[in-house]
Amino acid sequence: MQRIIDRQGFRMLPVAAQALSNRQDARWRQRAAKVLPGGMTGHLNAAALPAGYPQFFERGQGCRVWDVDGNAYIDFMCSWGPNLLGHHHPQVDAAARRQQALGDCLNGPTPRLVELAERFVARSAHADWVLFQKNGTDATTVSLMVARAASGKRKVLVAARAYHGSDPWCTPVSAGVTPEDRAHLIRYGYNDVASLDAAADAAGNDLAAIVCAAFKHDLGVDQALPTPAFARRARELCDKAGAALILDEVRAGYRVHASGSWETVGVRPDLSAWSKSIANGYALAAVTGIDALRKAATRIYSTGSFWCGGVAMAAGLATLEIAETADVVSHVRRMGQRLRDGIEAQAARHGTPVRQTGPAALPLILFDDDPGCDKGALFATEALRHGVYMHPRHNMFLSLAHTGQDIDLALHATDAAFAAVAARFGAR
């Protein structure tokens, strides 16, 4: 059994099966059920995960998280994206603390706003300006507003099943939403050029924007990188109609390409929406845009009490600095590939085939012949019992804090998890 001690001297979890204690978690859930609707809502709701997953966490450090019962896990969710450099990154936290000591929420922004905007624009291949917000939903929504203000048009093409946030125009659940909230959305299929053409036709001369995720990352189905033909067609249709091509980078940003995910297919958007990873866990979002949309971005009114908070911006500056000097994109790709290769070999050895799709830095593991995700659930639960926090059907995230040794440790856990799947469902 391997034991590892981290820099602070905390005992790291030996990757061996254990019965996870959950007494504290159960207690917090009981209290939560009384004062929080449903006990918990949104994407962090553990009710959407197989039984055995903890709801409440005590701390994070590097690529590890500890739940409230003290169980430690090698973390492959990275807070569902935000932790790009690892939990509690010392340099990011120090920058945030320095700013906190000066002031966070003031009568106007701190100079960090300008510094971060300069860095952001310099880093982005397409952008001449940036607007900051707090959440990814803010950024996608502001992108639509800019596109509509610029064009005076209403229709927006959005891929079927794509996630762009939780405002009424885009939330995947219809409760509390009117058809009118989505009246001007037209659906197309990601990477399906014919469906994109049909959607653009349906928009007629009222097309304001085409929204595309950086790659296809819909819940529970295989991921797909954008095909160059699809990306180029989206660009052409926008150019022809005077509409804006909006790239939703909220999930992929900083992990796929340093200066914009569609640099990989040679297509530049007019607007990009960013959040999640850009301040390593501090609340920050951004819309970047081209010069031609600067005036429209000046005209819309979209703001928030906390959107200019200096602490998140200081954290964002530190995150950018580290992401660039450490070449995070290469690191997460390498670590993701190491995990993918290991998983591939184990799946073959255990006779339990899986599909691993999308960029290696954002892994998704789906079992063949598993329509109800029963194999996936058992696999993830067994990995959890062996000290590895994975998701059975949502894409996962690598961080700068994952080392080759962490990946190899995690692969011990997944080996046992594959064995459990083969034992329960049979090997091929």
H helices within 306-373, ranges in order? 310-325, 328-350
Amino acid at 162: A
**93 and 280 Cβ atoms separated by less than 8 Å:** no
Binding region for ligand PLP (CB under 6 A) out of 12-20, 133-141, 315-323, 343-351: 133-141
Query: How many CB atoms lie under 10 A from the CB of residue 398?
Result: 28
The nearest distance, CB 31 to ligand PLP, in angstroms, is 25
Q: Write out the binding residues for ligand PLP, residues 209-238 only, by CB under 6 A.
A: 213
- Buried-exposed string 44-53: b where 16+ CB fall within 10 A, e elsewhere: eebeebbeeb
The nearest distance, CB 334 to ligand PLP, in angstroms, is 23
Rounded CA gap, 294 and 146, in Å?
A: 9
Which residues does 50 contact at the CB level (< 8 Å), separation at least 6? 377, 378, 380, 381, 392
The nearest distance, CB 117 to ligand PLP, in angstroms, is 20
Among 83, 135, 319, 357, binds ligand PLP (CB under 6 A): 135
The nearest distance, CB 140 to ligand PLP, in angstroms, is 5
- Between 81 and 387, whose beta carbon lies closer to ligand PLP? 81
Give the residue closest to ligand PLP by C-beta. 136
- Between 26 and 219, whose beta carbon lies closer to ligand PLP? 219
Q: Residue 369, CB half-sphere, CA atoms under 13 Å: how many? A: 9
What are the phi and psi torsion angles at 290 (to 5°)? -85, 160
- Between 61 and 288, whose beta carbon lies closer to ligand PLP? 288
- Between 135 and 223, whose beta carbon lies closer to ligand PLP? 135
The nearest distance, CB 137 to ligand PLP, in angstroms, is 3
Among 136, 226, 289, 309, binds ligand PLP (CB under 6 A): 136
The nearest distance, CB 175 to ligand PLP, in angstroms, is 18
Rounded CA gap, 177 and 106, in Å?
A: 35
Rounded CA gap, 68 and 24, in Å?
A: 6
The nearest distance, CB 133 to ligand PLP, in angstroms, is 9
SS3 159: strand
Rounded CA gap, 262 and 267, in Å?
A: 6
The nearest distance, CB 397 to ligand PLP, in angstroms, is 10
| 79 is an interface residue for ligand PLP by CB under 6 A | no
- Between 102 and 160, whose beta carbon lies closer to ligand PLP? 160
- Between 22 and 399, whose beta carbon lies closer to ligand PLP? 399
* Total residues binding ligand PLP (CB under 6 A): 12
Q: Write out the binding residues for ligand PLP, residues 237-256 only, by CB under 6 A.
A: 248, 250-251
- Between 12 and 279, whose beta carbon lies closer to ligand PLP? 279
**25 and 34 Cβ atoms separated by less than 8 Å:** no
- Between 121 and 219, whose beta carbon lies closer to ligand PLP? 219
Q: Distance from CA of residue 161 to its chain's centroid?
A: 16
Which residues does 17 contact at the CB level (< 8 Å), separation at least 6? 382, 385, 386, 416
The nearest distance, CB 13 to ligand PLP, in angstroms, is 28
Q: Write out the binding residues for ligand PLP, residues 22-61 only, by CB under 6 A.
A: none
Q: Residue 95: which region, alpha, beta or left (left: phi > 0; alpha: psi -120 to 50)?
A: alpha
Q: What percentage of the chain's residues is helix, strand, coil (to nearest 5)?
A: 40, 15, 45
Site string for ligand PLP, 144-173 (x = CB under 6 A): -------------------xxx--------
Q: Write out the binding residues for ligand PLP, residues 271-290 only, by CB under 6 A.
A: 275
The nearest distance, CB 82 to ligand PLP, in angstroms, is 8
Which parts of this chain interact with ligand PLP (CB under 6 A)?
135-137, 140, 163-165, 213, 248, 250-251, 275
